Amino acid sequence: MTEMNPEQIRARVAELGDWFHNMDLKGVRTAPDHFLYDYPANKFARFEHAIPADLTGKSVLDIGCNAGFYSLEMKRRGADRVLGVDSDDRYLEQARFAAEVEQAEIEFRKLSVYDLAALKERFDLVIFMGVLYHLRHPLLALDLIHEHVADDLLLFQSMQRGSDEVFPVAADYDFNEQAHFDEPGYPRLHFIEHQYAHDPTNWWAPNAACSAAMLRSAGFEILDQPESEVFVCRRGPSPWVGAAYPARASTNGYDRSGDKA
């Protein structure tokens, strides 16, 4: 592949429209006027130490890859296979171009988080950052990641609002006990009916306790929380039984409790 000069890179960056990832492609910035400045590099710098520095021989799945910043970072750490998936064609075009400029062998594919089972593959590291709050069915997405693609580590991030406190959650509460629902450290998922920050795809804003609780509920053990919104997890056994999801052919007509669906 012929290496592009800065003028060619700059022209193609402009052709690909607005970029949310402000990336440095051989000295050319993809979003020089980004409202979050050097994003996501400035955010990644705060938690990059929590991810293995050497991913040699490992596979990585980047869900909601956008323009591929994290996919490229994992490839730089030596990952053997990196697959980025997104539902937005424009982001995928940007990601493919960024990988081309960096001469990185990364596959990008159009795929919804709800269709991850189609991959029929598990990955050593799954990245699920900046996606959960855009989904109508966030807990389902975490369950599908656990069930179909996560083999070991999960790097998770969500926009959070409310308290950063995380209170211990009891195994059960009496029906008449209600005070805990108003405690700042109790898991709380705020629903956004219309728009937030002028974005109609922002549906949810969990507090920190809710993010942690949802991850545990989906079967992930939290290993580290390098900053409030970021969790490094390990896949564990599924703690839930009989989730109210439509039965699939592979269940042979039975739900996860073993009862007839």
Higher pLDDT, 65 or 238: 65
| Preceding omega of 226 cis (within 30 degrees of 0) | no
pLDDT value of residue 21: 93
Task: Single out the residue of 234, 229, 259 nearest to residue 244, CA to CA.
Answer: 259
pLDDT value of residue 2: 72
pLDDT value of residue 255: 36
Helix (H) or strand (E) holding 11: helix 6-15
Q: Distance (Å, rounded) from C-alpha 23 to C-alpha 1?
A: 21
Residues in the chain: 261
pLDDT band at 15 (very low <50, low <70, confident <90, very high): very high
The arithmetic mean of pLDDT across residues 23-51, rounded, is 91
pLDDT value of residue 155: 98
Q: Distance (Å, rounded) from C-alpha 138 to C-alpha 160?
A: 14
- Whether the pLDDT of residue 246 is over 70: the answer is no
- Whether the pLDDT of residue 41 is over 70: the answer is yes
Structural contact between residues 112 and 87, judged by C-beta atoms closer than 8 angstroms:
yes
Top CATH class, 56-167+179-251: alpha beta
Please give the mean pLDDT across all residues of the chain: 90
Q: Give the model confidence (pLDDT) of 181-208 as tens digits.
A: 888 899 999 999 999 999 999 999 999 9
Q: What are phi and psi for residue 165, nearest 5 degrees?
A: -70, 150
Domain extents for the chain?
56-167+179-251
Q: Distance (Å, rounded) from C-alpha 123 to C-alpha 83?
A: 9
pLDDT value of residue 142: 96
Q: What are phi and psi for residue 110, nearest 5 degrees?
A: -80, 120
CB-based contacts of 244-249 (< 8 A; 24+ apart in sequence): 245/140, 245/143
| Complete edge-to-edge strand list for the sheet that includes strand 230-235 | 107-110, 81-86, 59-63, 123-129, 150-157, 230-235, 220-227
Q: What is the pTM of this model?
A: 0.89
- Whether the pLDDT of residue 127 is over 50: the answer is yes
